[in-house]
Amino acid sequence: MNRIPVMIPWMAEAEAEAVADTVRSGWVAQGPRVAAFETAFAARVKTQAAVAVSNCTTGLHLALVLAGIEAGDEVIVPSLSFIATANVVRHQRAVPVFVDVELSTQNLTPATIEPALTSRTRAVIAVHQGGIPLDLDPLRAFCAERNLVLIEDAACAVGSTYQGRPIGSGATYAAFSFHPRKLLTTGEGGMLVTDDLDVAARGRRLREHGMDLSAAARHASTTVALESYTEVGFNYRMTDLQAALGLVQLGRLEAMIARRRELAARYQEALSALPGLVTATDPVYGTTNFQSFWVLLPDSFPLSRDDVLQHLLDHGISARRGIMAAHREPAYAGHPHRPLPVTERLTDRSLILPLFHQLTTSDQDRVIDTLLGLSPVSARRTPAASTTRGNP
């Protein structure tokens, strides 16, 4: 019995060739391929500018620096997120303030933010969790009215849409991840996108040690060009090796999303046999790329989340716990926070099922049948049930 992984990236010969070509070109650090990847990415997510960075975490940190967030400022974040969302606030010596999320999207909303506002609140890092888009219009209006900086953690959300527009569009700060656990991968990598060209220009300097002239620009110059360092920056650069990979990956995005949405619809239909099970789904205002397909076990479910994960593993299926809650981790022990009931319910009772481009429907049926077999109510489903759709 083959082991079904929770996720594998979709890469092929074209990616290998693109990286090999880059090696042969002799230019492997940030250079022409990074510039080309930025242009292509900005066009795809319909934003004015894209600044490639070493990963999404550095992209989020850069956004905080660009937004002028300083030591002691309060930044609202969901606890229910990969821990980097909260950590970047600490990197800036600012204070992460955890707020709860709305259950069906796992995203924060104005209603969950409001009770946590203080006179020191300066920014909100809102996450398009697992690819499900935030309800951006009300959130942007809420932040604008209160003079709060809105930073979108779009790590998982490449190709997701809000009111027909791609995530990233219309943002002053939105950061994407190209870690292999997301849709597009460059091994490690990230992209900060913005509609503000001044933000982009300063972002390009800050990711490169605060240098006012990039290495590529100096290389291209026909006269002696001396750089200067305008402020203290970082080395948050992406390499041309990564960008070469990213350019090929970007060409696969539509196919990746289409396949994921097809597989997600199969999960949704089959798992509707489990009474009370909540699954990841499109919100009314947009579409998800299904970076993660999560299910929330009903209270009546006879097994714990961990027992379900173990049962799946015993049947050769790798699933994962749902989104983590940062406030539960030792790194945040003693960090004060408001009650987070929805966050705790989601993190305790949800799990992420295998979903990736190459997942076959027969392997997916194995996941479905194994899961349905655990429920007393749905145990009547036969292994062939997925092919008997439409039969009386």
Ligand X SMILES: *Cc1c(COP(=O)(O)O)cnc(C)c1O
Positions annotated as catalytic residues are: 182
Give the interface size with ligand X as a residue count (CB under 6 A). Answer: 14
Residue 18 near ligand X by CB under 6 A: no
Residue 53 near ligand X by CB under 6 A: no
Q: Which residues have a Cβ under 8 Å from the Cβ of 69 and sit 6 or more positions away?
A: 75, 89, 92, 94, 122, 123, 149
A 10 A CB-CB count for 290 gives: 28
**Residue of 153, 208, 240, 369 that binds ligand X (CB under 6 A):** 153
For residue 78, the minimal CB distance to ligand X (Å) is 9
For residue 127, the minimal CB distance to ligand X (Å) is 5
Q: Please give the structure tokens belonging to residue 176.
A: 């994407």
Strand ranges for 16-94 from DSSP E: 49-53, 74-78
Closest CB to ligand X among residues 127, 359: 127
d(CA 385, CA 370): 13
d(CA 61, CA 67): 10
Stretch that binds ligand X, among 31-39, 77-85, 160-168, 219-227 (CB under 6 A): 77-85
Residue 45 near ligand X by CB under 6 A: no
Residue 56 near ligand X by CB under 6 A: yes
Residue 191 near ligand X by CB under 6 A: no
Phi, then psi, of 158 in degrees rounded to 5: -65, 125
User: From residue 97 to residue 136, what is the string marking binding to ligand X with x (rule CB under 6 A)?
Assistant: ------------------------------x---------
For residue 177, the minimal CB distance to ligand X (Å) is 3
CB-based burial, 357-378: b 16+ in 10 Å, e otherwise = bebeeebbbbbbbbbbebbeeb
Q: Which amino acid is at 164?
A: G
**Residue of 33, 179, 205, 260 that binds ligand X (CB under 6 A):** 179
Stretch that binds ligand X, among 44-52, 61-69, 82-90, 373-381 (CB under 6 A): 82-90
For residue 160, the minimal CB distance to ligand X (Å) is 12
Stretch that binds ligand X, among 49-57, 63-71, 142-150, 164-172 (CB under 6 A): 49-57
Cα radius of gyration (the chain): 22
d(CA 85, CA 153): 7
Residue 194 near ligand X by CB under 6 A: no
- Long-range Cβ contacts of 150-153 (<8 Å, 24+ apart): 150/123, 150/124, 150/126, 151/60, 151/63, 151/64, 151/67, 151/123, 151/124, 151/125, 151/126, 151/175, 152/125, 152/126, 152/127, 152/128, 153/56, 153/60, 153/81, 153/85, 153/125, 153/126, 153/127, 153/128
**Residue of 62, 66, 156, 200 that binds ligand X (CB under 6 A):** 156
Residue 82 near ligand X by CB under 6 A: yes
Closest CB to ligand X among residues 274, 295: 295
Residue 359 near ligand X by CB under 6 A: no
d(CA 351, CA 115): 29
For residue 46, the minimal CB distance to ligand X (Å) is 21
**Residue of 55, 242, 289, 347 that binds ligand X (CB under 6 A):** 55
Residue 79 near ligand X by CB under 6 A: no
Residues in contact with ligand X by CB under 6 A are: 55-57, 81-82, 84-85, 127, 153, 155-156, 177, 179, 190
